[in-house]
Amino acid sequence: MTSTARTPAGLLDHALSDPVRPLVTFYDDATGERVELSVATFANWVAKTANLLQGDLGAQPGDRLALLLPAHWQTAVWLLAGFSTGVVVAPGADPAGADLVVSGPGADDLDAARACRGERVALALRPLGGRFPQPPPGFVDYAVEVPSQGDRFVPYAPVGPGDPALELPGGEDLTNAQVVDRAHATARSLGLSPGARLLTGLPFDDWQGLAAGLLAPLAVNGSVVLCRNLDQLAPEALVKRQDAERVTHTA
């Protein structure tokens, strides 16, 4: 059954009615990494990350969170964690105008992230959620801090459908309810239905990438095969992956 939730966090809560099914399967075709997260495992990462955001990092509802991250399973976690705490998630935003920033390991992203005057978090994006060999100066190492966080998350203030949730590149702002409505609309445009399994190699730098990479499959109780560096995969290998992963749709 498709969820009637009016917030992205509510979509994840609804998905937990079937906790063991796959939700995000991630491939990095530059490293050979493959990670599969069930709904329950993904929700646990979201809860831990939301607790880190709200507790250790002191994020408040309405704070602006700049995400300087590629399409990755940990980026999907941060997206839902931000929605859960009530911060406004802003993929690719200028960190100088953000209250917090989360950066990938690239030198350019880390340099840009240093313009943020608030808390700075760095993700190594290593296989199995590994940490940096040496954390970048001035940054919290996500892989070091997140394991000790609580497995259940309760926001200090309720996060409602009308609260701001997402700032898209270009400046368009969406509330939680608008994110959910657009996720359902994108799912319909892609032909997704309950149980659909969508393969995508789109970056997380616009709505289509964010929707295909998590939000549209989540809205219809589907799942996503999220591929980074997909251009490095030979066409015949892509066909084998689609068959092995039982992909029903592509984006």
Complete domains list, the chain, with CATH: 8-250 (3.40.50.12780)
For 225-243, what is the mean pLDDT?
Answer: 97
Q: Give the pLDDT confidence score for residue 128 in this predicted structure.
A: 83
Question: Nearest 5°: CA angle at 142, between 162 and 175?
Answer: 10
Answer yes or no: is pLDDT of 1 > 70: no
With H, G, I as helix, E, B as strand and everything else as coil, classify residue 120.
strand
Answer yes or no: is pLDDT of 2 > 70: no
- 202-214 pLDDT per residue, tens: 999 999 999 999 9
Distance CA 101, CA 27 (A): 25
Query: Model confidence at 19, in pLDDT bands (50, 70, 90)?
Result: very high
- 170-188 pLDDT per residue, tens: 889 999 999 999 999 999 9
Which residue shows structure tokens 């809205």?
219
Cβ within 8 Å of residue 235, ≥6 positions away: none
How many CB atoms within 10 Å of residue 138?
A: 11
> What is the percentage of the chain residues whose pLDDT exceeds 70?
99
Average pLDDT of the chain, as a whole number:
96
